[in-house]
């Protein structure tokens, strides 16, 4: 810290604009407020809104607050993009701070919070009335992390699965097998089975087990729908079972 203050202050080392932006962004990522204040004291331009997003997506509310109080709206745009960044960090405090300043909900808040792995953040969004995504992005984020606990939470909260096949195919491609098994058992739609098989075959490992899970699910589904007394069986035979 002292070295940075000396270089940008007393030593007067000249730093190009692009390098200033790069250094400032990384200082915000690290949440080093003292370093950021030293850059400001040296006359560096810190109004780039990317700095605020980097601070938010790493949960550094103290940096976000300082940027807002010191540099104003030019440095901190209170918008959905900044809220997405805060959600991605899993910081309830940062999201609440933005909402208190009039930030509107964005469409991807749930998927960003799910990606953070913070269940408290997802539950907070629900409690605050944030609209649930309808395209399955939150589940895909959980699948990407192999976060079964998060996927279960999303289901308990009633977050929609999204378009048939999207979530299952993502899980078949690279999620842990327990995630795949749970999705199939919980009722997440497979959609096109051929597309699902292709996704399973692309797994770096465990593709045989994934295909077995998929095939077992297909047989269970077929037995349920076409089995004796089922709706399709009645349609095909015109018979009922007493």
pLDDT at position 230: 53
CB 87 within 8 A of CB 121: yes
Q: What is the CATH number of domain 16-104?
A: 1.25.40.20
pLDDT of residue 9: 55
Residue 226's pLDDT is: 52
The pLDDT of residue 18 is: 82
What's the pLDDT score for residue 64?
Answer: 97
For 47, phi then psi, to 5°, come to -85, 0
Residue 239: predicted pLDDT: 39
The pLDDT value recorded for residue 237 is: 33
The ranges assigned to domains in the chain are: 16-104, 133-207
Residue 223 has a pLDDT of 76
Residues in the chain with pLDDT values less than 50:
1, 6, 228, 232-242
- What residues have CB less than 8 Å from 191, skipping those under 6 apart? 163, 164, 165, 166, 168, 169
């Amino acid at each position: 810290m002292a070295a940075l203050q000396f270089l940008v202050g007393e030593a007067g080392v000249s730093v190009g604009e692009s390098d200033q932006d790069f250094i400032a962004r990384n200082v915000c990522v690290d949440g080093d407020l003292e370093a950021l204040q030293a850059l400001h004291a040296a006359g560096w331009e810190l109004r780039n809104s990317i700095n605020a997003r980097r601070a938010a997506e790493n949960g550094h509310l103290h940096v976000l607050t300082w940027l807002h109080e010191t540099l104003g709206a030019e440095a901190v745009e209170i918008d959905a993009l900044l809220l997405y960044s805060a959600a991605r960090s899993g910081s309830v405090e940062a999201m609440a701070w933005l909402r208190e300043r009039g930030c509107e909900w964005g469409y991807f808040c749930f998927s960003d919070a799910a990606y953070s792995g913070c269940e408290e953040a997802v539950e907070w969004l629900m409690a605050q009335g944030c609209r649930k995504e309808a395209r399955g992005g939150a589940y895909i984020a959980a699948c990407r992390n192999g976060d079964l606990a998060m996927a279960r939470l999303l289901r308990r909260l009633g977050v929609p699965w999204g378009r048939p096949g999207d979530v299952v195919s993502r899980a078949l491609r690279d999620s842990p097998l327990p995630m795949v098994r749970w999705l199939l058992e919980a009722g997440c739609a497979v959609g096109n089975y051929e597309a699902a098989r292709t996704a399973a075959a692309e797994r770096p490992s465990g593709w045989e087990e994934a295909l077995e899970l998929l095939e077992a699910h297909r047989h269970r589904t077929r037995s349920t729908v076409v089995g004796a007394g089922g709706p399709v069986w009645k349609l095909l035979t015109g018979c009922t079972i007493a």
